[in-house]
Amino acid sequence: MAELRLGLIGCGGIGEVHAGCVAKIPQGEFIAYCDIDEAVAKRALDKFGGEYATTEADKLFADDRLDAIYIATHHDSHAPLVIAAAKAAKHIFIEKPLALTIAECEAVAEAVATAGVYLMPAFKMRYYPLIRMAHEFIPAPQVLVGQMMDRRWADDAWFQDPVKGGANVHSQGCHTTDILRYLAGSEPVRIWAAGGTLTHPDHPCIDQCVASIEFANGHVASWIQGDVALPQLVSKFYFELFGDGKSVQLHDRLKRATFFDGEKTWTEHRDAEEGFQLENVEFLTALAAGREPQLTVHDGIQATRIVLAAERAIKTGQVQEL
């Protein structure tokens, strides 16, 4: 039996991805699966093994054997489930975004601090080796570019739902803003953005965003987020760092990076995307060692704070202080 016993709430697409990752990590094992759709919870139990499947999250919170809870549900349930898990003294791995509003983010932070549990937001991109290599190569870039441009999202997808998902900028923007903040090595202080509802007319949510972010160290980033069309040359995920005569471009879904040191150019390549597996390794090895995971509730809050400020800037036309 593994040292850490785990429960999964939300056993859909990404819940199953995490269960598959955990199955390869010796420190942890899922014994409990919860989904509001009973068949989905049972499917996960059958596929990954464990002890029970349920539609009642409270059953997991009341299970004293569980050390940590994974939450991979739709966005409107993130904050209430995290708060309930913290009150039950469980460590938490939460899919992005941490929560939908700053008030919810702060309630989550308070619950986690009061309970003294660890929370890791699931920003898988932090664990792509080439992102880390780029950060080490240019630790304080003067100028950054971060772009996540997807194919147009289906109108009936849950992530387009204004309550459950919030559309592209709200749903996925936090991945990009978290990486920009990480690569900048500095906290954001100011943002201006243009955009709006450009791919889903008459929808209440903002789906495209083009923003300029200023960081506390005076350095700047350009951020593009949306679902107009997949860029075939650079792929859905694209980041650029420029610092002191050096540059890096991360492309091919962050599996390829082109480095320039002012004289030489070379390319690093990874065969596969390793973010999901390595973020799970980090969470479980940290818990097993009794230390806080590298990513904390603060990272989750900051990523959402930038997204929300961009949305305010788009709506008001005004620069937003962060």
Q: Does 213 bind ligand NAD (CB under 6 A)?
A: no
Closest CA to 93 of 123, 115, 65, 59: 123
Among 10, 141, 146, 195, indicate the residue that binds ligand NAD (CB under 6 A): 10
Which runs of E-coded beta strand occur in 10-131? Answer: 28-34, 52-54, 68-71, 91-94, 119-121
Among residues 153, 86, 51, which one has the least CA distance to residue 297?
86
Contact 171, 286 (CB under 8 A): no
Pick the closer one to ligand NAD by CB: 11 or 138.
11
Under the binding rule (CB under 6 A), the answer on residue 34 touching ligand NAD is yes
Minimum distance from CB of 314 to ligand NAD (Å)? 21
Among 5, 6, 7, 15, binds ligand NAD (CB under 6 A): 15
Q: What are phi and psi of 7, to 5 degrees?
A: -125, 145
Pairing status of strand 91-94 against strand 68-71: parallel
CA-nearest of 291, 279, 308, 311 to 70 is 279
**Least distance to ligand NAD from the beta carbon of 16, Å?**
8
Count of residues that interact with ligand NAD, criterion CB under 6 A: 24
Rank residues 174 and 286 by Cβ distance to ligand NAD and give the closer one.
174
Distance of alpha carbon 123 from alpha carbon 174, whole angstroms: 8
Contact between 141 and ligand NAD (CB under 6 A)? Answer: no
Of the listed pieces 6-14, 20-28, 46-54, 107-115, which binds ligand NAD according to CB under 6 A?
6-14
Peptide bond into 188 cis (omega under 30): no
11 scored as a contact of ligand NAD (CB under 6 A):
yes
- How far is 217 from 214, CA to CA, in rounded Å? 8
Cβ of residue 261: shortest distance to ligand NAD, in angstroms?
A: 31
- Give the gyration radius of the chain's Cα atoms: 20
Site string for ligand NAD, 242-271 (x = CB under 6 A): ------------------------------
Which residue's CB is nearer to ligand NAD, number 35 or number 311?
A: 35
Q: How far is the CB of 93 from ligand NAD (least distance, A)?
A: 11
**Residue 188 binds ligand NAD (CB under 6 A):** no
Cα of 146 vs its chain's centroid, Å: 15
- Residue 99 as a binder of ligand NAD (CB under 6 A): the answer is no
Contacts with ligand NAD in 161-180 (CB under 6 A)?
Answer: 171
Q: Does 299 bind ligand NAD (CB under 6 A)?
A: no
Q: Any contact of residue 72 with ligand NAD (CB under 6 A)? A: yes
* Euclidean distance between CA atoms 259 and 248, whole angstroms: 5
Q: Where are the beta strands (DSSP E) in 90-158?
A: 91-94, 119-121, 143-149
With CB under 6 A as the contact rule, the residue among 29, 66, 70, 74 that binds ligand NAD is 74
Place of tokens 């201006």: 192
Separation CA 91–CA 118 (nearest Å): 5
Please report where in the chains the tokens 């990076």 appear, as a residue.
257
75 binding ligand NAD? (CB under 6 A): yes
The residue among 72 and 112 lying less far from ligand NAD, judged by its C-beta, is 72
21 contributes a contact to ligand NAD by CB under 6 A:
no
Residue 80 · residue 100 · CB < 8 Å: no
Q: Which residues of this chain interact with ligand NAD, rule CB under 6 A?
A: 9-15, 34-37, 40, 57, 72-75, 77, 95-96, 122, 124, 158, 171
